Amino acid sequence: MEKITRVGVFTSGGDSPGMNAAIRAVVRTALYKDKKVTGIYHGYQGMIDNTMFDMDSQSVSSIIQMGGTVLKTARCMEFKTTEGRAKAYEHVRTAGIDALVAIGGDGTFTGAEIFSREFNIPVMCIPGTIDNDLNGTDLTIGYDTANNTVIEAIDKIRDTAASHNRLFFIEVMGRDSGCIALNAGVAGGAEAILLPERETAIDELIDMLEQAADRKKSSMIVIVAEGDKNGGANNVARCVQEKVGYYDTKVSILGHLQRGGAPSSADRVLATRMGYAAVNELLKGNTRATVGVRGSEIVTTPLEEALSKKELKLNEDLVEIAKIMAL
């Protein structure tokens, strides 16, 4: 294997809080190892458009606390074509980049895997997505921050007057993954949590709410993952309202604010450790893999393995705990 002299770094797909901390760690670790660093704007699109620039230590000053990504991000259709990738590689090669660090989610990993194989360029991935739906790691960068954002919203809603029979529905992110809904639901003390991974019939939900109302609760909070089979918080609220009219239902749809905000301490440390590890792994000759965290250890997993199956992230114990806590 050739010696690495210049590392390219980019973020791709949906952004997540902590990506900047990862970029900073990649840049400073590479510089410390006497490598040069090229930043690539807008992910794979930037390779094709050749929007790249040389990064020094100062170029990542005071970004660790910022949400979003200073390298911007994009979804790129052209990179899915052989021609697109060829053009991208041409620019990468011309820039003198001989290894890549890709920060993003599933689609980012897929692109990285193909690109690395096609052009035999070393690539390490870093899992950055608020959804925590990636294989090869316990936690993805941004997930912790997103959970904190959601519980702040829940806490505020819980503050409001305990009028009788008021029912709040809060829709949170998670098209396929109920991680945020489940965690934030437990942390926010929700009375019910609707997850994409399992169907909850409206009648079943009404049963739960009526049991809760029987016990003691006058106001109740239901967390609905956007990917819930009933079609989102607006639909669920309408269905409940239609079936049992005595609730005053209120809906909040948090939307993209869950992607933003200053990253939490845990996300910044995780991102920093992962960025550091990604460069070191590349320099040790590891490639076509993703870094991840298992317990308190940083590990790597081949991309092929990470992409081959969806690991079940949903913590079944926590689903059970959520129910008991709502009693």
Q: How many of the chain's residues bind a second copy (CB under 8 A)?
A: 86
Which residue reads 């606390």 in tokens?
A: 65
Which residue reads 């079936």 in tokens?
A: 243
Q: Reduced to 3 states, what is the DSSP secondary structure of residue 25?
A: helix
Q: Whole-angstrom Cα distance, residue 15 to residue 191?
A: 30
Among 188, 196, 227, 292, the residue binding a second copy under the rule CB under 8 A is 188
The nearer residue to a second copy, 116 or 140, going by C-beta atoms, is 140
Site for a second copy in 14-33 (CB under 8 A): 14-15, 17, 21, 24-25, 28-29, 31-32
Q: Give the count of alpha carbons within 13 A of 36, CB side only.
A: 10
Which among 15, 98, 131, 133 is annotated as catalytic?
131
Cα dihedral angle (288, 292, 296, 297), rounded to 10 degrees? -10
Minimum distance from residue 136 beta carbon to a second copy (Å)? 14
> Inter-axis angle of helices 202-215 and 232-243, to 10 degrees?
70
Q: Whole-angstrom Cα distance, residue 117 to residue 289?
A: 12
Number of Cβ within 10 Å of residue 327's Cβ equals: 9
Among 3, 34, 82, 159, the residue binding a second copy under the rule CB under 8 A is 159
The nearer residue to a second copy, 81 or 265, going by C-beta atoms, is 265
43 is in an annotated binding site: no
| Helix, strand, coil in percent for the chain, rounding step 5 | 45, 20, 35
The nearer residue to a second copy, 61 or 82, going by C-beta atoms, is 61
Does the footprint of a second copy cover residue 288 (CB under 8 A)? Answer: no
Site for a second copy in 229-268 (CB under 8 A): 234, 250-262, 264-266, 268
28 is in an annotated binding site: yes
Q: Is 98 a catalytic residue?
A: no
Site for a second copy in 195-234 (CB under 8 A): 215-217, 234
Question: Which class for 83: exposed (0-12), middle (13-18), buried (19 or more C-beta within 10 A)?
Answer: exposed
Site for a second copy in 46-75 (CB under 8 A): 57-58, 61-62, 64-69, 72-75
6 is in an annotated binding site: no
Contact 132, 143 (CB under 8 A): yes
250 is in an annotated binding site: yes
Amino acid letter for position 202: I
Minimum distance from residue 32 beta carbon to a second copy (Å)? 5
229 is in an annotated binding site: no
* Rg of the chain taking only CA atoms, in angstroms: 22
Site for a second copy in 79-118 (CB under 8 A): none
Q: Whole-angstrom Cα distance, residue 129 to residue 104?
A: 6
Summarize the annotated binding site for ADP as residue ranges.
Answer: 24-28, 158, 189-191, 215, 217-219
Summarize the annotated binding site as residue ranges.
Answer: 14, 24-28, 75-76, 105-108, 129-131, 158, 166, 173-175, 189-191, 215, 217-219, 226, 250, 256-259
Catalytic positions are 131
Summarize the annotated binding site for substrate as residue ranges.
Answer: 129-131, 166, 173-175, 226, 250, 256-259
